[in-house]
């Protein structure tokens, strides 16, 4: 990774000072966020060396069913031939930066969307906001990407997709939330855990389950 000669920067607020108001509307150096796309490519190279793992390029496609999130520009689909594993999708987007007048123009912001099985089943996207106020340094950003990849590769991982809500579970914890009202968090986490143990569970209405085991021997 060090040989790639990519931007690296410290957290602008190491003492956890609150950001200034003007930082919320400022993107000082959008070009440095290209590290998120480079991190995805580094992971593609590394994971492709694992036995039974294949990678293939993906053409541009929508990131969600209703088009609200737009489309990714380039993508890679990584699959393992080990039974019960989920494909990992590393989707690169060149996001337009909106100025104060609400128009787009000039440089773009590199954003990496991580998903499983299909682009709409999103694990995370980074940076989640490129403004200066939300910047915690390059190390924090790269660790967030690495953590999402590890959850897929190390397994087990469960994602539940409901109407306007999602839950994620892995051995180190989990999360749930969304724009709609979902089931109780503790109940959802218990459902996820039982799914990893192969139990036949009753899911909430209109819920899809994605269950993945480890890619590793």
Output the DSSP codes for 150-174. HHHHH--EEEEEETTEEEEEETTEE
pLDDT score at 101:
42
DSSP state of 134: G
Distance in angstroms between the alpha carbons of the first and the last residue of the chain = 25
pLDDT score at 99:
58
Percent of the chain whose pLDDT exceeds 90: 71
pLDDT tens, residue by residue, 65-107: 777 888 999 999 999 999 999 999 999 999 988 754 444 557 8
* Domain spans in the chain, listed from the N-terminal domain onward: 20-152, 155-217
Model confidence at 25, pLDDT cuts 50, 70, 90, reads confident
Model confidence at 215, pLDDT cuts 50, 70, 90, reads very high
């Amino acid at each position: 990774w060090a040989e790639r000669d990519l931007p690296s920067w410290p957290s602008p607020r190491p003492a956890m000072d609150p950001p200034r108001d003007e930082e919320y509307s400022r993107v000082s150096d959008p070009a440095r966020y290209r590290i998120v796309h480079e991190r995805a490519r580094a992971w593609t190279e590394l994971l492709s060396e694992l036995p039974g793992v294949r990678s293939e390029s993906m053409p541009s496609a929508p990131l969600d069913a209703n088009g609200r999130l737009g489309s990714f520009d380039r993508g890679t689909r990584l699959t393992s031939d080990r039974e019960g594993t989920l494909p990992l999708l590393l989707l690169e987007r060149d996001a337009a930066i909106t100025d104060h007048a609400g128009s787009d123009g000039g440089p773009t912001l590199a954003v990496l969307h991580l998903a499983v099985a299909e682009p709409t089943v999103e694990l995370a996207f980074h940076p989640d906001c490129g403004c200066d106020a939300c910047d915690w340094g390059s190390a924090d950003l790269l660790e967030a990407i690495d953590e999402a990849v590890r959850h897929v590769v190390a397994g087990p991982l469960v994602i539940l997709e409901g109407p306007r809500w999602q839950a994620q579970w892995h051995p180190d914890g989990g999360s749930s939330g969304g724009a709609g009202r979902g089931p109780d968090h503790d109940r959802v986490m218990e459902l996820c855990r039982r799914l990893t143990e192969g139990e036949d569970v009753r899911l909430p209405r209109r819920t899809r389950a994605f269950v993945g085991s480890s890619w590793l021997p």
